[in-house]
Each structure stands twice: as structure tokens, then as C-alpha cells.
Structure 1
Amino acid sequence: MRVLLSTYGSRGDVEPLVGLVVRLRELGAEVRVCAPPDEDFAERLAGVGVPMVPVGRSARALTTAAPSAADLPRRAAELIAGQFEAVTAAAEGCDALVATGAMPAAAGALSVAEKLGIRSVSVTFQQLTLPSPHRRPLAYPGRAFPPDVADNRMLWDLDAQSIDALFGEALDTNRASIGLPPVGNVRDYVIGDRPWLATDPTLDPWQETPDLDVVQTGAWILTDDRPLPADVVAFLDAGTPPVFVGFGSMPLHAATDAAQVAIEAIRAQGRRALVGRGWADLALIDDLDDCFVVGEVNQQALFGRVAAVVHHGGAGTTTTATRAGAPQVVVPQAADQPYWAGRVADLGIGAAHDGPVPTVESLTTALTAALTPETGARAAAVAGTIRTDGAAVAATLLLDTIARTADRS
């Protein structure tokens, strides 16, 4: 069997596919991956023996450019066109396509699968894009919901209208170019009848809704056996466990201030600091030996050796820190990150910072809460509940689905 995995987004959209790739190949499948042409994505996939088919522009360049709300439709059109070009070629001879990442990109990939007549599955790594009467949808930039509308079902209807306004014309134009009819509702087309939610049930419990048949597979985690760099190990061994601070794929337009604030707050706790460079290019603020900066690193190994993790609240980082049993301080920047911050606080495994811009005082307060013995004990207890079989579950389910489809035909 041949499977194409397609995504467009940050490291958090690519890393789970690494886990799925490995599990699919263990079951005998041939796998291809379409992803943005960022060098670190290609290197990560090459590390598990899978060449990457580049699609579109660099995700890092697109993210750090901070597009305006008015520019979203044009960017969406670019993403969709890129998917039609790259996925059409990559999907040749495939039995199934798994689509995830940014909604317009997923819409493009799913349209290609529809045209080629191959099985497709839509996957999300956070539940906030799945309509539910239990919570509000996220508002797109520049398209705030009316303040007088409180009913969740009405808000989800408005969400569908916003998505159609942003992405509908570009999607239908590209679909028409390959002989497909227009899509009446972009969001519902992308989600499909039976979407997969690749998150951990403890960290991200899905509440059943009669309108949607969601399959929660568990998070797609691959055990990372890469050793930590020797200089990182030397720093860890040189003193008490440090506090890690990093914001992953978030550009952080006040990056220098963020590093300054974080290091000062960590030092106020009497702790050493380990700074993750990330897409914000965080750097050290002086040459004192109580701080160290790291680039790309095995976070599974690293988080098991730190006193706490200060991060942006991406789904992948939150899951990795939770699984490692590290207390967390989540400083959410955008999108689903406030949700993950809330889950960390609700579970008692860390603190949710109020807003995206910390001060020394606000971060010190959050760190004080995260570094208590009670929070540490709770983080260790919750770590033992995090499932590690999500990618294996998804791989088996996907290949079984392909087999059943083939039998019926």
C-alpha cells in the first residue's frame, strides 16, 4: 500500500507525521510526505528515511512575515495552488492521502484526492477547529465575532461563513481548473464525515457531539533516540536542573525582550536557564555561565532533565512536556495556544500565563507556581497517563480502512 501524508504549517504540524511514517512503514506501507520546504523539516524526515516532497514557500518565512488579516485570502490562494501542484504529482499511485495542517492547504490536498479517486482522511492536532456545542470557535484575524452572539451553535455558523469568505473563492477556482465542482462549505469539506483527532485523551479530552463522528487516536509520538549534544549534556551536568524557555515556531516580534524577561525571571527563582533559540532566534543576554542556548534538540530527552518548561503552548510542545513530567509555564501567543495553557492549568501540571507578553514580575509569579513540589508531583503523576501508541493506532486504522475500501470495490 502507498500512503501520502500532506501538511503545511509549523514544526508542530510536521513532527507528528514522523511518528505516523515510522508506524506505517513497520506495517509494510510505502509512505511519501508533502511538507513546506524548510530545511529542518527535510532533515527530520530524512532522519527516518523518508524524502520530503516540498510544497509551497518556507513555512518559517511565511510565519515570520506576520501577514495582515487583509492578506489572508491571497496567502490562502497561494497555499491551495501549491497543494494542487505538488500533491497531484506526489499522490500518483497512492491508495490513500492523510491531510492536515493549515485549512486552505488541507482543502487543496483533499481536492486532489477527490479528483484522483483515492481514499482521504482529515486529521487535526487540536480540537478547536472541530465544531462543538461545548465551546466557541476561534476567530480568524480581522473577523471577530459579534459581541452580542453567545450561542455556540450560532458562532460555529459564523465561523463557517468566515472560512468561506477567506478561502472559498481560491479553493473553488482551483477545483474548477481540474474539473471539480465548487465546495458549498469549506470547513465542513475539510473536516469530512469522520475526522481524526490526533491528541491525547488525558490532555485533550473530546466531548462527544451528535453532529460529528470524531476518531481520537491519541497523539502521534515517536520515541526520539537522538542523543543530546555533548555541550548541552555538559551544561545540564554542571549544576541543578535548569528551567528551559523556548517558543518553538513562534516568531515573537519582541524576541530580545522575551529572552531578557525570561532569564531574569528564571534567575529570580535561583535557577539556571536553558534557552531554546527557535524561530524567534532567542539569544543569551550576557556571558554568565548560568545560561546556555540550544538549537534543534531532542526535547523528549531534554525535558526529562529540566526543572520546568516555559513555552508558547503548541500542541506538540505541550504534549512532550506533559509526557516528560516537567512542570510547565505556558505563555500563549496565538490560535490554539490559550487552550493548551488552560489545559495545563486545569490539570494542575503548571501555570497559564495571562497573555502573550510576559514581564519579569508576571513570569516570576507563574514560575513560582510551577516550581512548587505539589505541581511537580502532579506533573509526574499525569505523565504516566499519556498514551504513546497514537501513531500505531492511526497507522493500523488507516491501512485497515484502505483494505476494506479495496474489498468493497
Structure 2
Amino acid sequence: MQVLLSTYGSRGDVGPMLALAVRLRGLGAEVRMCAPPDEEFARLLAGAGVPLVPLGPPMSTMARPSTADAASRRVSELAALYDTVLAAAEGCDALVATGLAHFASRSAAEKLGIVYRYATFCSYLLPTPHRAPPAQVLPGQRLPAGVTGNRALWELNAQSFNTVHGQALNDHRASVGLPPVTDVRAFLFTGNPWLAADPVLDPWEETGELGVVRTGAWILPDERPLPPEVAAFLEAGPPPVYVGFGSMRGLQDGTARAAVEAARGQGRRVLLGRGWAGLAPVDDRDDCLAVGEVNQQELFGRVAAVVHHGGAGTTTTAALAGAPQVVVPQAGDQTFWAARVAALGVGAAHDGPAPTAGSLSAALRTALDPATAARASTLAGAVRADGAEAAAKLLLETVAQESRIRS
């Protein structure tokens, strides 16, 4: 059995797909992965022995589209990754896609006639009558304030996908001999998307309209030791506050200073995760240490709280570690995760992407409260870590079933 995994996104997309790759390989499948050619991702896949098929330009160089026209051009670029995905999928029995790779990957799987599954790590874009869609998920496409009713809002959400993405997607499909799609959102997410998120952190209420398949979060155990300087810093005093924004760039000026001042105001030392934003200490005091890419599964179990952007992976890792959280959402699904952290009582949701020392101090007071820590510890025992194994078994069963039907 040969499987292609395809993703175009940040570490939060590549990491879970690698977890699935490792589980699939453990079940006897041959696996390769299309992913951006960032050095970080290449190193990650090489360490796990998973072949990398470079896909598109490095993700760290990509700017977020700010207008509908820019988003449409981006779709043309993403759809043009089809040739790379198609070549990588030759001879494969199944293709699983996530992130922005779905524009090219579903068309490639359709062309080859192989099993295709789309996975998402958060339910916030999946249509449901039980909640409204995000007010704005596409550049230049904001839902009108005068429309009420979740179903009507989701219908407008679908129209926005067609308006922004439809022409570019269908132009490409026509160029490779595939028919047009009339519902872009349904095409991208499919009728049976896999929701690779923990059911406690991201509960999904069945609707009878969309066949969401719950697999649980895809987590790859990390056995790496912490760097010596990080271990020494942790042992030199009480647990610090970790502050990191992962793959986010373009943070508000002064974010690092606000975080350091807020933590110090609560009597805490600080570990700054450099990330793509390049966070750095604001002075030479010995109560602050900047760190690069580290084993967060190990680190988060040894800090007083985690201040982060609200990526699905970071939120889940902190929850598994029992760490209280402060989520400062920057974009996309991060407002969803911020709200979930607050609703579960395991931390605070910061209001907006631009923190000040005062606003972070208030959020940290909530996160550092003993009652919050107790709830975070209890939650850690409820979060599951076997989603990748469940998904791997499900995929192989699906391929076997499809093979029996065809024969």
C-alpha cells in the first residue's frame, strides 16, 4: 500500500501529517509527503525517515493575502502545484491532504482515481447549524451584520468561497481536463472531512448534513531532550512563563517587551520562543531566555503557563501537558482556540492580536490562578493522543474497502 500525504502550510500542518505518516508506516504502508521546502520541515521529515517531495516556495516566505484579488491569485498559484502532487501520487492507493494543499490535491486524486481524504485540525470552517461561521475568513469577504440565522450565514460563507476561489480553481481544472465545481467549499472540504482534533478541546455536534469523521488529534511523540541551556534555566528557579507565537510573523511592535514585562509583573521568569517572528529578550537580565525549536511536549510540562498564538498544535500540546494558557490570536482558527481555552477554564483569551503589558498581565493573572492550574491538570487526563493511529487504521481500511468494491 502506498500513500501520499500532501500539505502546504506551517509547522501546525506539517507536524500532524508527519505523525500520521509514522503511524501509517508502522502499519506497513509506504508513505511520502508533499510539503513546503522550508529547512525546518525538511529536517523534521528527514529525522523521521519520511521522504519529502518539495511543494511550492518555502512557507516562511509567503505573505497572507489581504484582498480578494490577491486571494484569487494565490489560489491560481496553489492550484498550479497540481503537477507536483500528481507526479508524487503516481502509483499511490490514497492521498490525504490538509492545509492549502487541498486546491491541487483533490484534483490530482480525482485525475488518478485514487482514494482521497481531506483532514482539518479545527472545526471552525466546517458548516454547522449549531454555530455561526467566522465573521471573515476570506480577504474582502465579511459576512453582513444584518443577516441572522446560522444556516443563512453559512450559505453566505459558501458564496464567499465561490466568489473568491471559484474562477481560479475552475480555470486550472479546465486546463487539466477536469470538470468545473459549482460549490468550492464543498469541493475543498469534501462531504466527509476528517476532523483531526481532540473531541474535548474541539467538540463537534453531529448535524446529519456533513459526515464529519472524528479521528482525534494527530500527535507525534517527541523524545528529544531539552537543550542544556534550557534545562539549566528551568532548574535555576521556579517555573517560568513560556511565550511563543510559532509560525506567526508581523507581530505588533513591542509584543516581546509586553510579554516580558507582564510576566515579571507576576513575579515570573520568561522563556521566549523565537519562532518566525524572531522574539528576543528586551534586556540582559538573567530572568529571560530566548529558545529556538524545542520539544514542547517536554517543556510545557515544566512551565507555569504558556502564552501563544492559538495554533491547534500548540493548544493541544499545552493541554496535554496540563499547562494553563493565554491565547493571543493572530489569524484564522486561533480565535476559536482562544475561546475554547477560556470556556474550558484552563486559561485566558486575549482580546485581539496586539497585547500590552497591562492586557497580558490581566490574562496571566487568570492563567496563574491555582484554580486554573487545577483545571488544566484535570483536562490533561482527558485529552487523547492516539488520533494518528486511529486515522492510519481507518485509511488503510478505507483503501481495502474501495479495492473490494472495484474488484
**One-letter identity of the residue aligned with 1:226:** R
State TM-score, norm by structure 2. 0.97
Percent identity (aligned)? 61
**One-letter identity of the residue aligned with 2:21:** V
Partner of 2:311: 314
SS in structure 2 of the partner of residue 304 of structure 1: helix
Q: How far apart are residue 362 of structure 1 and its match?
A: 0.8
> Superposition pairs for residues 319-330 of structure 1, below 5 Å?
319-330=316-327
Partner of 2:76: 77
User: Any idea what the Cα deviations from partners look like across 1:325-349, whole Å, max 9, x if unmatched?
Assistant: 0000011111111110110011111
Partner of 2:43: 43
Root-mean-square deviation over aligned CA pairs: 1.1
User: Any idea what the Cα deviations from partners look like across 1:336-382, whole Å, max 9, x if unmatched?
Assistant: 11110110011111111111111111100010111011111110000
Q: Could you tell me whether the CA contact under 8 Å between 1:42 and 1:51 is conserved in 2? A: no
Residue 131 (1) aligns with residue 127 (2): yes
d(CA) in 1 for partners of 2:232, 2:381: 28
**One-letter identity of the residue aligned with 2:180:** P
Q: In structure 2, which of residues 244, 247, 260 is the aligned counterpart of residue 246 of structure 1?
A: 244
Partner of 2:282: 285
User: Any idea what the Cα deviations from partners look like across 1:240-283, whole Å, max 9, x if unmatched?
Assistant: 111000011111332x5000000000000110000000111111
Partner of 2:20: 20
Q: In structure 2, which of residues 217, 222, 225 is the aligned counterpart of residue 224 of structure 1?
A: 222
SS in structure 1 of the partner of residue 258 of structure 2: helix
User: Any idea what the Cα deviations from partners look like across 1:18-45, whole Å, max 9, x if unmatched?
Assistant: 1101100010000010011111011111
Partner of 1:120: 116
Q: Could you tell me whether the CA contact under 8 Å between 1:333 and 1:356 is conserved in 2? A: yes
Partner of 2:331: 334
Partner of 1:357: 354
Deviation above 3 Å: which 4+ runs of structure 1? 65-70
Q: Could you tell me whether the CA contact under 8 Å between 1:353 and 1:363 is conserved in 2? A: yes
Distance 1:295 1:68, change over 3 A: farther
> Superposition pairs for residues 377-388 of structure 1, below 5 Å?
377-388=374-385
Partner of 1:344: 341
> Superposition pairs for residues 51-66 of structure 1, below 5 Å?
51-63=51-63
Q: How far apart are residue 124 of structure 1 and its match?
A: 0.6
Distance 1:67 1:37, change over 3 A: farther
Q: How far apart are residue 193 of structure 1 and its match?
A: 2.1
d(CA) in 2 for partners of 1:24, 1:91: 16
- Segments of structure 2 that go 5 or more residues without pairing to the other structure are none
d(CA) in 2 for partners of 1:386, 1:252: 32
SS in structure 2 of the partner of residue 97 of structure 1: strand
Partner of 1:400: 397
Equivalent residues, number: 404
Q: How far apart are residue 68 of structure 1 and its match?
A: 4.1
Q: How far apart are residue 47 of structure 1 and its match?
A: 1.1
Residue 7 (1) aligns with residue 3 (2): no
**One-letter identity of the residue aligned with 2:391:** A
State TM-score, norm by structure 1. 0.97
Partner of 2:148: 150
Q: Could you tell me whether the CA contact under 8 Å between 1:199 and 1:216 is conserved in 2? A: yes
Q: Could you tell me whether the CA contact under 8 Å between 2:78 and 2:103 is conserved in 1? A: no
Q: Could you tell me whether the CA contact under 8 Å between 2:327 and 2:349 is conserved in 1? A: yes
Q: In structure 2, which of residues 382, 386, 391 is the aligned counterpart of residue 389 of structure 1?
A: 386
